[in-house]
Structure 1
C-alpha cells in the first residue's frame, strides 16, 4: 500500500513537472516562433516567391541567387527560433528549479527529430530536383507530424496543433498557388494563437 502511494506521488510530480515545463515551451516560445516565421515568410516572398510560377507543380530550377537566399532565410529563421526557444525554456525551468536535461527531454527531442529530419531530407531532394513550390506544403506536413509524434510527452493541446498543421499542409498542396499564405498562417498565426491560448490557460 505504501509503495502504491509513493508511486502515485511520483506520477503526480512528473505530471506537474511536465505541465509547468511545457507551458513555458509551448506558450511564450510558440508566440516567438510564430513571429519569426512571419518575418521569414515576408522575406521569402520579397526575395524568392514573388514569381508565382515557382509556387506550383512545374519543375523550375531556382537561380543561384534565389537558392542562396532561400537557404539563408530557412537557416536564419530555424536557428533563431531554436535559440530563443531554448533560452526561454531554460530560463523558465531554472525558475522552477527543474532539471533542463532529463529522460523526458531526451524522448521529446528524439520524437521531434525523426519526422523533422526525414522531412528536411525530402525537402532538400525536392529543392535540388527543381520542385521548390512543394517545399511549403511539405514543411507544414512534417512539422505537424513532428508535433503529433511528440504530443504524448507534452501538453495534450500539442496534438491539436499538430493536426491543424498537417491539415494546412495538405490544403497548401491542393491550393499550391496560395501555399505561401497558408504557410504563413500555419507557422505564424496558428503558433502565435496557440502560444497565447496555452499561456493563458495554464497561467
Structure 2
C-alpha cells in the first residue's frame, strides 16, 4: 500500500515538474488541420505553376512574376490559417486540462521557434527575389525543422522528432530540386497529419 502511494506521489511530482518546465498543451488536432491545409495549398500551388504544354501534350512548370506573387499570397494564407487552427485547438486543450495558454514556457517556446523561422523566411525571400525559386521549398523545410528542434526542449519530445524529419526532407528536396513541391507537401502536409494523429492517440488532444 505504501509502495503504491509512493509511486503515485512520484507520478504527481513528475507531472507538476513537466507542467512547470514544458509547454504541454499542444493539440494533435492542430497538427492534423495544419497538414490538411498544407495539402490543399500544395494542390493549389500545383495548379498555379504547372500548365499543359499545347504542342507536346505534357505538363510543364511556368514561373512568372505574377505566379510568384500568387504563391507568396497563397503561402501567407496557408500560414495564417494554420496558425489560427493551432491557437484554436491548443486553447481548447489548455482549457480542458486547466493549463495556462500564455506563460513563461509559452514565451520561451515561441521565441526559440521564431528565431530560425524568421532567419529562414528572410533568406527564402532573398532567394525568391534573386530568382532561385527551386531552392525555396527545401529551405522552408530545413529552417522549419531547425525551428522545431530548437523549441522542442520547452515542449513535448515528439516535436523534436518532427523537426528532425522536416530537416531530412528538406535536405532531400535540395538534392531533388525539381520535386520541391512534392517534398513540401510531404513535410508540411503528410508529416503534420501523422504527427497530429499520433499526438491525438497518445495524449487525447
Using a 3 Å threshold, how does the CA distance of structure 1 residues 52 and 161 change in structure 2: closer, same or farther?
farther
Q: Which residue of 2 aligns with 1:104?
A: 105
Structure 2 unaligned blocks of 5 or more: 1-10, 52-58
Cα distance in 2 for residues equivalent to 1:166 and 1:128:
23
Cα distance in 2 for residues equivalent to 1:158 and 1:52:
36
Q: Which residue of 1 aligns with 2:84?
A: 83
Q: Which residue of 1 aligns with 2:152?
A: 151
**Structure 1 stretches of at least 4 aligned residues deviating more than 3 Å after TM superposition:** 8-12, 16-20, 49-54
8 Å contact 1:52–1:177 — kept in the other structure?
no
Cα distance in 2 for residues equivalent to 1:64 and 1:118:
24
Q: Which residue of 1 aligns with 2:120?
A: 119
**Residue-by-residue CA offset, 1:16-35 (whole Å, 9 max, x unaligned):** 4747513x2xx111101100
8 Å contact 1:48–1:69 — kept in the other structure?
no
8 Å contact 2:169–2:187 — kept in the other structure?
yes
2:15 counterpart of 1:12: yes
TM-score (normalised: structure 2): 0.84
**Residue-by-residue CA offset, 1:134-192 (whole Å, 9 max, x unaligned):** 11100000010011101111111111111100000000010111121111111111110
**Residue-by-residue CA offset, 1:13-70 (whole Å, 9 max, x unaligned):** 1414747513x2xx1111011000001111111112557557xxxxxxx423212211
Please say which structure displays the higher CA radius of gyration. 2
Using a 3 Å threshold, how does the CA distance of structure 1 residues 107 and 49 change in structure 2: closer, same or farther?
farther
8 Å contact 2:23–2:154 — kept in the other structure?
no
Cα distance in 2 for residues equivalent to 1:180 and 1:199:
27
2:164 counterpart of 1:163: yes
Q: Which residue of 1 aligns with 2:3?
A: none
8 Å contact 2:45–2:71 — kept in the other structure?
yes
Map of 1:51-66 to 2, 5 A cutoff?
A: 52=60, 62-66=63-67
Cα displacement (A) at 1:12: 3.3
Using a 3 Å threshold, how does the CA distance of structure 1 residues 19 and 130 change in structure 2: closer, same or farther?
closer
2:22 counterpart of 1:21: no
Cα distance in 1 for residues equivalent to 2:100 and 2:167:
32
Structure 1 unaligned blocks of 5 or more: 1-7, 55-61
Q: Which residue of 1 aligns with 2:72?
A: 71
